[in-house]
Every structure is written in structure tokens, then in C-alpha cells.
Structure 1
Amino acid sequence: MAATGEGEWELVVRSNRKGKNPTIVNGKLSKDEKREFFHKAPKATFNGAIETTPIGKENRKPKSPKAGSEAKKKSEKKTNSGSQQPRNLDEALSRLSVGEMQSLLDVVMSRFLDSPLIWLKDLASYLNVRINPVRQPDPVFKGQDPSYPASRLSSKVKQLLLSTLSQCSDTVLASFHKHCITNMVQEQIKGLSVAGYKLFLQILSMHRPHVGIVHLQSYCELRQSIQNQTPTCLSLLWAVGQPGINNFGIGLRIWMELMVPLIGLKNYSAYVVDYGCDVFSGGGGGGTEEYADILGVREFFSILDFTWCSSGSLAKPVQRQLFALYPKVKTTAFTSNPEVVLRNFFPSFLRRLNVDAPEQLKTELRTCLVQCLMQDPHCWSVWSQLYLKHLPQSAILLKHLVAEVDMLSQSSKTNKVEIQKMLKCFSETNKQMTHKIDSVPGLGEATEATNELLSHLRRVKTSKKSSGPRFWSILVMVLIIGIIWDIKSAGSFYGSKVGLTLERAGLIPYVEAIGRSLRFATIQVYRWCVHNIPFYYSKGCDLAEPYLLLVWSWFGVAVTYFWAGLESTVKYIPIMKESFDKSLPGLSTSVSHYASAALEYGNTTAIVVKDAAMPYLLQVHHYISTKVLIGALAPERLHEYLIGSIEYLRQLTLRMHSTLMDNFEQDSDNIVSKASL
């Protein structure tokens, strides 16, 4: 810089080596040049010294962009080499560190002591970040067991999650469940991993399944908004459905409200049917009244209509699954008290029994209608109110009842007199409409079927034929043996299937009361026998001894007479043989000859048959000994069973005898003590 004549400073710039002048506008530096100037200017350090820029550093050539990018990639590769992303979900689960999770929880709990919802949210976010495999799993973990992926967790991690959940109330857990569902859907829409949320939801569903349906209505609304995004919607169905895997009531409600509306959509039908099979496969339901509100008339007939009318659009395996699932749904819908429930189903069954309905559907409807009429007598009065309104359907049902008249007459729940009155009313109605027989559809068929059914009922006996005493005795014996075997296998009455069934039915107190009464009665009978049988036996012997001696003497005389007659007959046999030979010469010789020939032929034939059948008998023996009489049916095991049964009966008899004697002695002592007092 130099000063000018007017007292101002003027910037002096040397030209560069290439001879090009620098770009200076109006003698001033541009912004970039000012920034470069300040960057290269000497800097003052903290101790007051001045830091100079090394000479010639500004003349160094900058690195090429390519070299910079390569160096950046190498540095990123070095930094990521120590923490590679897991390849699959199992590997990601195996990398979870219980120490890191515990440290995170300790920090969060210390900062938010009274906010368990924040603990859970942070823990869920941690899991979702850590469980981020390269290959994202199937939205519903197809092909895995129902407890996957929680089954792949280490016991320490699972225990930490469960202990954290156990410190929270149901209200907090329900809010956390909704938070996880919402975040899972939002992040999966963005293409992010959601395996951590799914894992935590599954653990929560196993721990407290009832909190998973607190916000079920909100989940149904969320399903409607995302059902066009198949992976996200499948993840929602899987996550919300976890509480119902081991709880039939919750699973049935989730299936009916959340999943069944999607059963007709191609992308969801397979999973919806699979989930229904899983819910009903545990034997739950069994037709109890508590599920009537969940699976009512409207819900049942939506499944029936789709199964029998619209399931043709499904894949064949899924269709077969649905047909196998339908009977379980029907059993649950009819509940354990069909006598008062089936009347609600009867009108809908009858309305669907159209002439143009598929034959399989008509068969199912006829079967259900007959079941309604057999088990709920009130259905007959319901039918009488619907007879004219659904006359073609009534005609089809009447024709079917003609074929089932024997079952109708033998049903114990149907009043035969009331049925005949109802059919007579149908007949009178048909006669009044005879002039319209050509214009009213089904009137002719209904009239013919009603008359035929009435004639059949007049001929059929109204009471069931009682089975013979032999059948009932065999049935009672088999039942007693089965109960004894069940109790012996379980080790006690209360642990046997019979005891558990009676306990579920609430009959254990009555059974115990009956047992006490039988025990008291048995003791009394045994005591009476011990006291009175010797007395009556001696009296009977004294009274019947003369008559028994007389009968014995008569028996001896009869045996002596029979023996004498046999001896005299033997004496007359040679005389009779000689007379036969004289009258029919050669007869005895011919008879003996043919008899010996027949005996020899029979012996030869038996030997030939034995030789021919021996290989087959050996094969049968080998098959039975190697395929049948093995394991539990091995001869030594059968021998052990027989010996064990005999020993068990012997010990049971001894225990009964000792118990009866102890009770008898105890009662005798009580009687003696009372008498002495």
C-alpha cells in the first residue's frame, strides 16, 4: 500500500507470474478476496505471540476432488468396519446387550423418576435402532413359530423387558401400546425398520394381553387408512393380533373386528384365515355364552356367506383352511346354550335357503335348520310366523324333514304333539291357498311335503326304544373301567380328566357330597353285614338243612339211576350191532371205512392248508411282533399291565377293607363311649 497525493491510500498490486492482472473493482477487494486475505493473515495466539503462515503453503496445489472422495470413502469404511449392520433379524437380536439396555434405563429412570411411559418409549426407540438388519424380515414373519421373534431373545434381555413392564400400570401400558403401534406404522411408511417395535409389542402382549385391545377401535380406523399399503397393514395386523395368540376371547375379538373385514381382499385373506385357525386351534371357545356378544348373528352370517358364496376367489389351500375353520366358528356362535340361542339364527338360515343357492350351501343350511328345530323348540313357532313370507324356502325344508322324520320323532327336546299341531296349521294354510297353487311359488311342494310328513309322524312311535339291559350293563362297565384308568393314570381324582371336567363345571362339591353319602352308606351296609350275616347264615342253615339233605339224596338217586341205565345201554350195544349186521350186512364196515377215509382226507387237507398258509402266518406273526406289539403294546409291557392291574385291584380291595374296618371300629368305640357315659 502507498499514500497518494490527496492523502488517501492506494492499493498497489503486483502482477502474477503469468502476467495476468488481478481483478480489482474500483480499487477495492471483493468478498472472496477479503475472506482469503483474513484467512492467510497472521494470527495471535493465547500467549500473545503471532503465528505466521508458512511460506509457500499458499502455493501448494489443492487436492483433486476425486482424491478427496476416495479418502472420505476410506475413512467411512474404517469407521464402519467395527460396527457392521447385522445381516438378518436373528443376528440383530443376538447382538442386543443387556448392559447397554440397563444403563439406558438407569439414566432415564434417574431423570424421569415418576414417568414410566418415558422409560418404555426410550427403551422401544433403543430396540428399534439396534434391531436394524440388512435383510428386513417378512411383515408377519411367515414360516416362523407364533412366539417369534421373542423366542430368539436371550433370557437376560427378556427378563429385563418383563421386569420393566411389571413396574407399569395397565393405563400406562395401554398408552405405550398405542404409541408403539402408531410409530411402527409411521416409520414403516417411511421405509424404516420396525422390528424393535414389533418385538416390544410381542413381549407386552405375552405379559398383559388385555391392554392390547384397549384402543382396538382406533386400530380399526388406522387399518382402514392404510389397507392399500400391504406391508404396513400386515405389520399392523400382526402386532395388534399378538394378544390373542394364547387368549381365545381376546383373539376372537381381534379377529372379528380387525381382520375379518379384510378377508375378501387378496393380499390379506391368507393371513386372516391363518390367524383365525391359530385362535381356534387351541380348543378355546367350545361354545360358551361369554363369546355371544363377540360372535353374534350378524358376525356369524358374514363368515358363512363368504365361506359358501365368495371363497371361490381365494387360493385353494386358503379355501380349504376356511372350510375347516367354519365348523369351529359355528360351534362358538351357537354357544353352550342352544336351547335359547338358535331361535335368533333360524330366520337368517331360512331366508338364505333359496332354490337357486349352491347345492353345498343348501346342504349346510338344511343341516343348520334341522339342528335349530331339534335343539330349540321355540324355532317351530318362529317358523310358523315366517311360513307364508318364505314359502319356497319352507317347502325345501319340509321336503328335507320328510327324509329326517326318524330323527325328528326320536329327538328328546321336541314336543311331538306341538309339532303335529304346527304341521296341521301348515296344512290348513295350504288348503286355504289351493286356488293359488299355480301362481304361488312353492305352494304345491309345501302341500305335498306337509301331508307326507304328517302321515309319517302318525306311523312313527313317539317314544324312543329303550336299549336292552345287556347293552347298558356293558356301557356302564366300560365307563367305570375308563374312569378308574383315568384316575390311575393321573395319580389322583382331582388331577384326572374326569376331575378337571367336573371342576370346570362346578360339580366338585356335589360329587364330594355324593361320595361322603356313599361312603357313609357303605360303612353302614358293611357294619350291618358283619353283624347280621353270620346270624342269618346260621339261621338259614338250621332252617334249610333238612331240605338240602333231601335234595342231595334225590340227586344221588338220580345219578345212580342214570349210571345204571348207561351200563345197561353199553351191554345192549353189541347185541344191537349184531342185529344191524344181520339185517343190513356190510353197513357197519362201510360206515367205519368211509369214516376213516373222511378222517384221513380231513387230516391230509389240514396238513396241506397248514403248509400253504404257513408263510403268510409267519409274515403276519412277523408284522404283529415288529409293528404292532412294540412299545406300549409289547408282550412284556402287556404282562406288566396285567400284573399291575391285578395288584392295583388287590391293593384297592385291601384298602377298602381296612378303611371299612377302621371306620367300623371307630364307630363302635364311639357307641361304647356314649353308652358308658
Structure 2
Amino acid sequence: MSSGQWEVVGKSKKAQNGKVKNPKDDEKKPTKNGTKLEDIVPHSPIKSYYAGMEIDDTSKPPKEQKKGGEKKNKKQDKKSEPTKPKPKYIEDAVYEIDLTELASIITTNKVRFSNAPLVWLKEVANFLNSKIQIEIDDPTFSNYHPNYPLSAIPDDVKIILKKLLEDAGWQDDQLFFDITLTALANDMSRGQPAHGHRLLLQMLARDNPEFCVASIQKIISLRNSYQNRPPICLSLLWALGQGGVENFAVGFKVWNDVFLPLMELKNYSKYVITYLNILLDLHKDEKVTQEKYFAMLDMVNNKKNALSKDLSSDLTSQLFKLKEMYFKNSGNKLQVAFNQLMKKLPNQYLSGSNVDPYNEVILDSLIECLELDDSCNMTWRQLFHKCSKQSATLIEHINENWDRASPRLNMKSLKVTLMQYMEVCGDTLKGKKKDETVVKTKKICQGILDNMTTSTRKFPWLWASFFLLVGIAGLISYDVSRVNGNFPKSATGKLLNDLGILEQSQHAWRKTLSTSARGYLWLETNVPIYYATTVETCAPYAQLSKELVIVAGKKMGSLYGNMKDYVVEKTPVVVATIDQYAPGVIDTIQSYVVSGYTTIKKYSNDYYQVTLEYFKTKVFVGEWAPEILQNKTQLALNATRTHMSSYFHWFRKQVDLYSEIP
């Protein structure tokens, strides 16, 4: 050992012939070129591990060998320590991201590739993918808030990423969005982590929703490529749908062009309907055009039978939301919409349980049209012969939902419509073969008219008849009341008796009351019809007058604008001319005006406060206190309302009584 030669510590290997191999023989054996091993390796003590065999310098004392053994044991103990468990949720993974490391990657790439922002973004995406290696079951995050997983990113990380996207620029961001969509699909197909792609896609789509529809044909092609791999395709749909969270128009276009073709596929139908539900809930106040609403009606009508019962019900429920959005901003010109909606109803009579949710949406839409645009009643009357079955269905729906529909509809126009439909029914029933639908609908119309008459009889507002009958009754009642109700002894009765026409006048009076009562009932029935006809006849002329007034108003506004522009243009010239010939005059006038305005404002406020305090302390006190006056006014209004209601009931009874006198 003192010669510094190497020695193998451990078990000796046996040769193939069973003899023990002597290491000294190897040391003395020359190499191929005649040199010896000791001539190449210097004589210095070293320690090494090779193939599980420990090679050490035997000249070292035992203590040093012991220390080396202890170091080996420590390394083995360190390896046997339990490793830190991987995070199971994205929230845990993103909070472990080292901000210094992320900033260093961004800075390094900006320096090395100063003119290549796409390289910066790709490197950051790869970094996030490596840090967020989480397995997820639902690629659409349906059980989370629509902002997830972007909402799980710490604010510090989010600020750094937003700053990076801003530095990259709008054009590179859009190109990176398209590239990342493809990268998301490719990485998922290879089983590699892709949550970094998801986060950046969500951030880009939220800040720039138009990215989701900028390359719609390429997106459709990418969707078709992975349509048979639901996890990847759902991830692409989720990423594209993020733009709709911020922009309804973008979301609806993506849904219509990318989502909708997948609705009938079992793996996608639920998410397609769920996304539409999220979209409509997030944008309740957005405007929906008539074209979009009707296209959705047609789509649901075509798809509802291809879906399961639950999914079909969910899809139809979205129509109710879309209907509310459409009519909220539709305006008051709905004749065309009413016409098209009426033709979307099936050409058969539907009643009660036969009305499915889809047709119920259409019927509610028709009622909305009648409520918002009264001229739809005229359009409806023109469709009686072409859409008799659909009209019967609508009348049945109004009758079944009378409590909900009656406050929304114009009773006078509806009454004219129903009476005209009854005339059509009457003409139909003149034939030998009677249609049961027509017979039933006629009875329903009569029932609605009876309900309307009952409700209107409580408050008769025909002013001409009211003033006539009240005036006559008031004068005679006052005269008769002075003699305790004895008409022959009243001044009117004595006069008629002296003239010899008391009996005839009493008969004439009864006849007048009877005729007036019947006339009142006739007016109550027919005036609304004639009024509606007059309105329909005069409506075009009224609309023309309205348009002329609008045009005249616009012309006046334009004239006013021209005059204002002229004054604004010439004012500096006038001011300069005045200042040239009378320097300082304008400034003096302005100072006087400002001083006068300030003085008037100050004294007006002071007098207002003094007057207000005077009325509070001197006038409105005691019996004139505001609370007492308010109570007395309310009592007076209630009493007046009660007396008027009682009188109207009495008056109605008198009309019914005298109308029966021959």
C-alpha cells in the first residue's frame, strides 16, 4: 500500500476457470502499446464509486474511511425522505409559481429575441404548462364560475401576464391566439400538460373577444379535426366561448357557427345548451334582432325532436329568455313579426295540454305583439281566413291565461277582433257541415266578451250619456226632494198638472228613461267598434302627420344648428371689432354681469330661506300642519271615491231597470 498502487476493496471476482483473479497481475500487465497503467495515472489517493464497487485509498486511516461511510448513509437518508405531494387543483399550482423565475424568463427572451414577441409568449406558455400539471375531469369547468380558472391566478402573476400581452401588441396577440388553439389541441393529443394554454387563451379572449371570430373558418376546420376526441374538442369550445362572456354578439356568433353543428352529438349537446344558457344569463339587457330570434325559433323546432326530453326542455327554456330580450328592445312596430309568428304555429287547433312549450313561446310572443303594438289586432283580423286554426289556438290561449293576459292587452281592440272573428265563425257555420273547432272557438269568444263586459260595467265612462242622464236626474231629483219625494206636489209636477199633461209627461218621462237606458246600452256596445274603425281609417293620416311634424322638427333643429354655428363663428369677429374701437368694454360688461348674477343669486337664496322659515313657523302649524292636511286630503279622496262608486252602481241598476220598460 505504501507504493501508492490502487486496491479493490470488496469481494474478488472469479475467473471463468474458477481461479481467483489477482489484481497485481493486471497492474503489471502492459497495455497494448507497451505502456503500463502506473505510467498514465498519477500516484495520488482518490475516492470513487463505480458500478456498486467502492474504490478507495487504503493508506487512509480508518477514521477517514468511517467518515466517508457516514456521508454515504446521510445521502441515502436524504433520498429516502418523502417528496412533496403534487398539487391537485389549479389554485394550488398557480400559487407556487415563482414570480422571480417568471420575470427572469420574460426579461431574458425580450433581450435575446427583441423583435419576436411570439417567442416571448410561447416560452411563457411552456413555463405555465410545466408548472400547472393538473389532471381535470371536465375540460369545460362546468361546476365553476365562468371566470375560472382565470380567477384563480394571483394578482401578481396576472399583472405580469397582462403586461406581457400588451407589450407583444394586438396583431401578435391575435396570431398567438390562433397558434395557441392549435397548440392546446396538439399538446392534449400527446398527453402533455396544457393548462398554460388555457389560461392565456382565456385572458386573450376576455380582453379581445373579436379574436374568437377573426378566423372562424380555421376554427371550424380545427374543430372538425378533433370532433371525435371529446376532451380536446370540448377544450377548444370552452376557449372559444370565453369571448362571449364579455361580448354577446361574439358569443352568439361562436355559438351559432361553432357550437350549434355539434348539438345533436351525444358528447356535446349538453355543453352546447349550457353555454347558451350562460350567455343569455350574462347578457339579459342585450338587444336581440328579429332575424336572430326567428332563426332560433326555427332551429329549436328542427332540433327539439332529435334531443332527449330533458335537453329539449332545457333548449326550449332558452327561447323564453331570448323572447324577453327580443321584445325588451323591439320597439312598437311588430305587424310583420306578428304575421310571421302566426304562420309558425301548426295549422291545427291546439288547446290545453296539447300546447307544448315550443308553441307556448310562440303564443306568448303573439300576445307580446298585441300588447306592444295595437295595430297587430288589425293584422290579426286580416289573417282570419288564412290562419283560422292558428287564430283559434291563440284565442284559446288568451282565454286560458286571461288573468295574466288581460292587463296587458287593449280591451277595445281585442273586443273588435273577437266580434269580427265571431262573424267569420257565423259565416262558416251557415254551411251544412259544421266545424267543431269553429263552434268551440265561437263559444270561447263569447265567454271572453262576457268577461270584458262584466269588467267594464263596473266603471261606465261614456261621458256624453253620463252628463245627459246625470243633469236631468239632478234637476228633477232636487225639485222632488223639496216635497219629500212626492212628484205631483213638486213644482215640476204642479206645472205639468196645470197644463193637463201630468199623466202624459209621466208616461213620456218613463219612455225617455227607457229609451235613454237602451241607447246607453247600445252606445256601450257599439261605440268601441266604431271608434276602432275610425282609428284604423285615420291611422295612416295620423302617421303621415306625425312624420311631417318630425321632418319639420328636424328642419328647425338643422336651422337652429346653422344659426348657432354662424353665431359661434362670428362672435370672435364681433368681440375683436368692439375691443378695437372700445378697449376694455367687454371685460367691464362681463364683470358687471358676473357681479349682478352673484348678487341676485345671494339675495334670492336669502329671501327663499326667510320665506321658507316663515311658512314653517307661522303658516303651516296647528291645523295647517302638513301631516294633518295630508290626512284630511286622503280622507276626502277616499270618501269621494266611495260615493262615486256607490253612485255608479246605483246608476247602472237604474239603466238596467228602465231599459226593460216597454
Q: Please, what TM-score do these two structures have when normalized by structure 1? A: 0.50
Q: Is residue 398–residue 450 contact of structure 1 (8 Å, CA) maintained in 2?
A: yes
Letter in 2 for 1:394: S
Residue 296 of structure 2 is aligned to residue 299 of structure 1: yes
Structure 1 CA distance, aligned partners of 2:211 and 2:460? 55
- Structure 2 residue corresponding to 1:372, chosen from 369, 374, 394: 369
Q: Secondary structure at the match of 1:339?
A: coil
2:191 is aligned with 1:196: no
Distance 1:532 1:348 in 2: 62
Task: Say if 2:270 is the partner of 1:270.
Answer: yes
Give the corresponding residue for 1:554.
Answer: none
Q: Where do 1:387-466 residues align within 5 Å?
A: 387-402=384-399, 411=408, 414=410, 416=412, 418-434=413-429, 438=433, 442-450=437-445, 453=448, 461=456
Amino acid at match of 2:410: T
Q: Where do 1:82-121 residues align within 5 Å?
A: 86=86, 88=88, 90=90, 92-121=93-122
Q: 2:259, 2:272 within 8 Å by CA — same for their partners in 1?
A: yes
Look up the SS of the partner of 1:296 in the other structure.
helix
Rate the CA distance shift 1:128–1:405 in 2: closer, same or farther, 3 A: closer
User: Residue by residue, what CA displacement relative to the aligned partner does 1:367-406 show, whole Å, maximum 9, x if unpaired?
Assistant: 4332332222233233234332322221122234345667
Give a deviation string over 1:28-70, Cα, whole Å, max 9, x none.
Answer: xxxxxxxxxxxxxx99xxxxxx796989xxxxxxxxxxx99xx
**Identical-residue share of aligned pairs (%):** 23
Output the amino acid matched with 1:391: S
What is the SS of the residue equivalent to 2:332? helix
Instruction: Provide Cα deviations, 1:347-367, integer angstroms capped at 9, x if missing partner.
Output: 335533544684443555444
The answer to whether the 8 Å contact 1:92/1:131 transfers is yes
Secondary structure of the corresponding residue to residue 146 of structure 1:
coil
Which runs of structure 2 are paired with 1:295-374 in the superposition (5 Å)? 295-303=292-300, 312-314=308-310, 325-341=318-334, 343-344=336-337, 347-348=340-341, 351-353=344-346, 354-355=348-349, 358-361=354-357, 363-374=360-371
The CA deviation string for residues 319-370 of structure 1, in whole angstroms up to 9 with x for no partner, is: 7765765543331232333533585266335533544684443555444332
1:124 is matched with: 125
Which one-letter code corresponds to 2:378 in the other structure? S
Find the counterpart in structure 1 of residue 215 from structure 2: 215
Q: Would you say the 8 A contact 2:429–2:435 is kept in 1?
A: no
Q: Distance in 2 between matches of 1:377 and 1:51?
A: 117
* Alignment pair present for 1:153 and 2:153: yes
Query: For 1:244, what is the secondary structure of its paired residue?
Result: helix
CA distances 1:539-573 after superposition (whole Å, capped 9, x unpaired): xxxxxxxxxxxxxxxxxxxxxxxxxxxxxxxxxxx
The AA in structure 1 aligned to 2:156 is K
User: 2:234 matched to 1:237?
Assistant: no
Please say if 1:168 is aligned against 2:168. yes
Deviation of 1:245 (Å): 3.3
Q: Does 1:187 align with 2:184?
A: no
1:342 & 1:258 partners in 2: Cα distance? 33
Q: 8 Å contact 1:226–1:233 — kept in the other structure?
A: yes
The runs of 5 or more residues in structure 1 that have no matched partner are 1-16, 19-41, 44-49, 56-66, 69-77, 467-519, 538-677
Alignment partners' CA distance in 1, 2:82 and 2:382: 80
Counterpart residue number, 1:140: 140
Is the CA contact 1:350–1:369 (under 8 Å) kept in the aligned structure 2? no
- Shift, 1:145, TM fit: 4.0
Distance in structure 2 (CA, Å) of the matches to 1:414 and 1:122: 66
Q: 1:429 and 1:231, CA in 2 relative to 1: closer, same or farther beyond 3 A?
A: same
Q: CA deviation at 1:233?
A: 1.3
Contact 1:430 1:447 in 2 (8 A): yes
Instruction: Tell me the CA shift for residue 97 of structure 1.
Output: 3.4
**Residues 435 and 110 of structure 1: is their aligned pair in 2 closer, same or farther, counting only changes over 3 Å?**
same
Amino acid at match of 2:421: F
Q: In 1, Cα distance between the equivalents of 2:431 and 2:37?
A: 119
- Output the amino acid matched with 1:461: T
* Matched residue type, 1:372: C
Is residue 89–residue 137 contact of structure 1 (8 Å, CA) maintained in 2?
A: no
Q: CA deviation at 1:266?
A: 2.7
Seen in structure 2, the aligned counterparts of structure 1 residues 408 and 334 have a Cα distance that, compared at 3 Å, is closer
Q: How far apart, in 2, do the equivalents of 1:296 and 1:51 lie?
A: 96
For structure 1, which segment, 225-234 or 382-391, has the greater mean C-alpha deviation from structure 2 after superposition? 382-391
Aligned residues: 412
Q: Which residue of 1 aligns with 2:495?
A: none
Mapping 1:586-665, distance limit 5 Å: none
Contact 1:391–1:446 (8 Å) recurs in 2? no
Which structure has more RCO (C-alpha within 8 Å, separation ≥ 6)? 2
Q: Is this contact kept in 1: 2:399–2:444, CA < 8 A?
A: yes
1:397-432: CA deviation from partner (whole Å, max 9, x where unpaired): 223434566777654x6372x444444543444444
CA distance in structure 2 between the aligned counterparts of 1:339 and 1:422, rounded to whole angstroms? 19
1:514 matched to which residue of 2? Answer: none
Distance 1:437 1:53 in 2: 131
Q: After the TM superposition, which residues 547-566 of structure 1 pair with which residues of structure 2 at under 5 Å, given as runs?
A: none
How far apart, CA to CA, are the structure 2 residues paired with 1:211 and 1:343?
A: 36
- Judged with a 3 Å threshold, the aligned counterparts in structure 2 of structure 1 residues 422 and 281 are, in CA distance, closer, same or farther, namely closer
The residue identity in structure 1 corresponding to 2:126 is: S
Q: Which one-letter code corresponds to 1:125 in the other structure?
A: N
Question: Partner of 1:384 in structure 2?
Answer: 381
CA RMSD of aligned residues (A): 5.0
> Residues 196 and 441 from structure 1, CA distance in 2 versus in 1: closer, same or farther, beyond 3 angstroms?
farther
User: Is 172-181 or 189-198 further displaced after alignment?
Assistant: 189-198
Counterpart AA for 1:285 = K
For the Cα contact (< 8 Å) 1:300–1:333, is it kept in 2?
no
Counterpart Cα distance in 2 of 1:131 and 1:530: 72
Q: What SS is found at the alignment partner of 1:340? A: coil
Is the CA contact (8 Å cut-off) linking 1:252 and 1:294 kept in structure 2? Answer: no
Given residue 414 of structure 1, which amino acid in structure 2 is its aligned partner? N
Amino acid at match of 1:392: K
Q: 1:431 to 1:257 in 2, by over 3 A?
A: same
Contact 1:205–1:212 (8 Å) recurs in 2: yes
What SS does the corresponding residue of 1:344 show, helix, strand or coil? helix
Deviations 1:88-113 (A, max 9, x none): 45365355333343333233323432
The letter for the 2-side match of 1:200 is L
- Amino acid corresponding to residue 104 of structure 2 in structure 1: S
Partner deviation per Cα, 1:501-524 (whole Å, 9 max, x = no partner): xxxxxxxxxxxxxxxxxxx99998
Does the 8 A contact of 1:255 with 1:276 survive in 2? yes
Distance 2:155 2:361 in 1: 50
Contact 1:437 1:443 in 2 (8 A): no
Conservation of the 8 A alpha-carbon contact between 1:349 and 1:369: yes
What is the correspondence of 1:538-549 to structure 2 with a 5 Å cutoff? none
- Which secondary structure state, in structure 2, belongs to the residue aligned with residue 158 of structure 1? helix
Which letter maps to 2:106?
A: L
Q: Which residue of 2 aligns with 1:658?
A: none
